[in-house]
Amino acid sequence: MQEISIKVEEKLYQNRYMVDEGRPHISVKPHTKPSDALAALVKVCPAGCYTRNETGQVEIAPDGCLECGTCRIVCAATGDIEWNYPRGGYGILFKFG
């Protein structure tokens, strides 16, 4: 596969958000070893919200979340994450959509 370098953060930088400080709408449940589904989110989340920490757990920083719901559906069967819409009015604000 041809190598293309991309930085998702640069893409997100163009977007408008209203961040609900201190009230993340998604959280990962405590775990020692992530399930395959949870581990897959590190790549599959289109906003790159999921990362692996040094000790191997998956963490989320949902500030750049596009509210697509992909992670919710991928982990529906395993129950690895807690997912809600942001409070009304908060989150991504598409200018064009």
Q: Which residues bind another protein (CB under 8 A)?
A: 1-2, 4, 6, 8, 11-12, 14-15, 18, 37, 40, 43-44, 46-48, 66-70, 72-74, 76, 85-89, 91-97
Contact 75, 17 (CB under 8 A): no
Give 4 or 43: the residue with its C-beta nearer to ligand SF4: 43
Please choose which of ligand SF4, another protein, none residue 87 contacts, taking the beta carbon within 5 to 8 angstroms, the exact cut-off set by kind: another protein
Q: Which does 62 bind (CB under 5 to 8 A by kind): another protein, ligand SF4, none?
A: ligand SF4
Strand, coil or helix: 12: helix
Pick 18 or 68: Cβ nearer ligand SF4: 68
Among residues 69, 64, 74, 9, which one has the least CA distance to residue 41? Answer: 74
Task: Name which of 90, 64, 85, 68 is nearest 11 in CA terms.
Answer: 64
